[in-house]
Chains A and B, each alone.
Chain A
């Protein structure tokens, strides 16, 4: 401990950041029955850091071209020392991160932490969620195996159905009319440069807002504490919450390691653009609920093409979700109840559709 203090002082003399850091020492976290949900954001951040680190390691051996990608991933999995570990952790962590990000979003929604003045924290968080899904979509193609190739083909084709700009968007994403090596290179650029850059900015903004505005307390607890101030409890961020956060991170690390070692991520077969799509192709679980919905919509509804309608509905839902906090104070509690109801419906719908998507042929 003494060593750490000496190191801190040495750095402070050279960075002069004592005044900037001082507020951090006073930062507190409210303690109540639902405090455990506060960990989700930190775990998502931790998993993102894991992704950056394993991603950089993978970059040392990966080759982003149609005739090199699959073989380079195969090389990593079979020849590079512990390559299997790095790659499997990267794949598992990606899925876990999307799950914790969604859980974090839903917990914020149900705990109503998005209320004024934290609306922009919510907006930046939602944009981060979209980025994370973008990471998932772009990264999935990179091994250039059959499943990835056709999932990308189907996914970008759905994007192409958006009215007016759809076709241009699809060409922009694919780097051409079809999914080819050009698509791979482009997705690689998105995945390792564009998206990380945007994500870093948004994470910085998100964390800054959280720091400045403090941690929100759920309304019911807030009211309780207003009536009985002596029941209000909080803990200091340093060291109490931080140590707990560290425990959560270490547990996540253990889970990742176990998953990677006991259930390594498979590679499949190299993509062959000329072979027909495998029957029953499905996207990864985080897109499955949308995919399944589109499958269930009939081809035409009145005068509107079914797929376009589906895309429109999801687009609208996404937009509303992005701006959720601004509906909260509408109509004396009606907005709030709508948001709550919407949240329950969305969660149930996504879960049910995902399960259905897995079970359906």
Chain B
């Protein structure tokens, strides 16, 4: 037996439900489309490039100067040596995790916590640190100094 399709219901009631359904559909579709349309608009910073970050602008560092920058979720240290070369390393001391600093008088990297010393290549040369600091690749692009993780071979 077939369930009849044509309603024997007041047209106004039918109308009301139709409007409710139509309105609800439009509203719900709008609530889905709104995030999608916002999504399609690219964000202000178009890239979170590979494993790289802009550490500084050219000219920001003086010769024999340094800067701590954010690399991923850990600090990194960017150094402009007296010879004018950039060097970027992890700034987390390999002993107990303190943040290291550049000593312009020693031309070495020093950890204030327990007097650990690293050379400018990150090698641990004195004091408690058991391992070298991880070194990063530095590239100067235009007026930006870009730091990226060293690629595996």
Are A and B associated in one complex? yes
A residues apposed to B, CB below 8 Å: 1, 57, 60, 67-68, 71-72, 74-75, 79-83, 85-86, 230, 232-236, 239-240, 250, 253, 273-274
CA distance A85 to B1 in the complex (A): 46
Q: Say whether A71 contacts B51, CB under 8 Å.
A: yes
Closest Cβ of chain A: how far from B47's Cβ, in Å? 7
Q: Say whether B39 contacts A80, CB under 8 Å.
A: yes
Interfacial chain B residues near A85, Cβ < 8 Å: 35, 39
- Pick the most buried of B1, B32, B35: most chain A CB atoms within 10 A of its CB: B35
CA distance A235 to B3 in the complex (A): 6
Cβ contacts B30-44/A at 8 Å (1 or 0 each)? 001001101111110
Contact residues of B between 2 and 49, Cβ < 8 Å to A? 2-3, 5, 18, 28, 32, 35-36, 38-43, 45, 47-49
B residues apposed to A, CB below 8 Å: 1-3, 5, 18, 28, 32, 35-36, 38-43, 45, 47-51, 151-152
CA distance A75 to B38 in the complex (A): 15
Please judge, given known A-B contacts A1-B18, A57-B36, whether A72 and B43 are in contact too, CB under 8 Å: no
Q: Say whether B5 contacts A236, CB under 8 Å.
A: yes
Q: Say whether A72 contacts B3, CB under 8 Å.
A: no
- The 14 listed contacts between A and B (C-beta, < 8 Å) are A57-B36, A57-B39, A60-B40, A75-B48, A79-B45, A80-B39, A81-B41, A81-B43, A82-B39, A85-B39, A232-B1, A233-B3, A235-B3, A240-B3
Q: Say whether B43 contacts A67, CB under 8 Å.
A: no
Q: Say whether A230 contacts B43, CB under 8 Å.
A: no
CA distance A74 to B50 in the complex (A): 11
> Residue on A with the closest CB to B18?
A1
CA distance A67 to B38 in the complex (A): 27
Interfacial chain A residues near B49, Cβ < 8 Å: 68, 71
Q: Say whether B5 contacts A239, CB under 8 Å.
A: yes
Q: Say whether A230 contacts B48, CB under 8 Å.
A: no
Q: Say whether A86 contacts B35, CB under 8 Å.
A: yes
Q: Say whether A81 contacts B39, CB under 8 Å.
A: yes
Q: Say whether B39 contacts A72, CB under 8 Å.
A: no
Contact of B1 among A57, A75, A230 (CB under 8 A): A230
Interfacial chain A residues near B51, Cβ < 8 Å: 67, 71
CA distance A67 to B49 in the complex (A): 9
> Residue on B with the closest CB to A68?
B50
Closest Cβ of chain A: how far from B35's Cβ, in Å? 4
CA distance A74 to B43 in the complex (A): 13
> Residue on A with the closest CB to B36?
A57
Q: Say whether B48 contacts A67, CB under 8 Å.
A: no
CA distance A239 to B18 in the complex (A): 13
Known A82-B39, A232-B1, A236-B2; 4 more pairs at CB < 8 Å: A1-B18, A75-B47, A234-B2, A273-B152
CA distance A49 to B45 in the complex (A): 30
Interfacial chain A residues near B151, Cβ < 8 Å: 67
Q: Say whether B1 contacts A233, CB under 8 Å.
A: yes
Interfacial chain A residues near B18, Cβ < 8 Å: 1
Q: Say whether A81 contacts B1, CB under 8 Å.
A: no
Interfacial chain A residues near B40, Cβ < 8 Å: 57, 60
Closest Cβ of chain A: how far from B21's Cβ, in Å? 9
> Residue on B with the closest CB to A232?
B1
Q: Say whether A81 contacts B50, CB under 8 Å.
A: no
Closest Cβ of chain A: how far from B148's Cβ, in Å? 9
Closest Cβ of chain B: how far from A61's Cβ, in Å? 8
- Pick the most buried of B5, B39, B47, B152: most chain A CB atoms within 10 A of its CB: B39
CA distance A239 to B21 in the complex (A): 14
> Residue on B with the closest CB to A58?
B39
CA distance A58 to B91 in the complex (A): 34
Q: Say whether B43 contacts A71, CB under 8 Å.
A: no
- Pick the most buried of A79, A250, A273: most chain B CB atoms within 10 A of its CB: A79
Interfacial chain B residues near A274, Cβ < 8 Å: 152
Interfacial chain B residues near A68, Cβ < 8 Å: 49-50
CA distance A81 to B151 in the complex (A): 31
Closest Cβ of chain B: how far from A341's Cβ, in Å? 37
CA distance A86 to B35 in the complex (A): 9
Closest Cβ of chain A: how far from B124's Cβ, in Å? 20
Interfacial chain A residues near B47, Cβ < 8 Å: 75
Interfacial chain A residues near B42, Cβ < 8 Å: 80
> Residue on B with the closest CB to A85?
B35
> Residue on B with the closest CB to A180?
B152
Interfacial chain B residues near A235, Cβ < 8 Å: 3
Q: Say whether B48 contacts A80, CB under 8 Å.
A: no
Please judge, given known A-B contacts A230-B1, A236-B5, whether A82 and B38 are in contact too, CB under 8 Å: yes
Q: Say whether A236 contacts B48, CB under 8 Å.
A: no
Q: Say whether A80 contacts B3, CB under 8 Å.
A: no
Q: Say whether B1 contacts A82, CB under 8 Å.
A: no
Interfacial chain A residues near B32, Cβ < 8 Å: 253
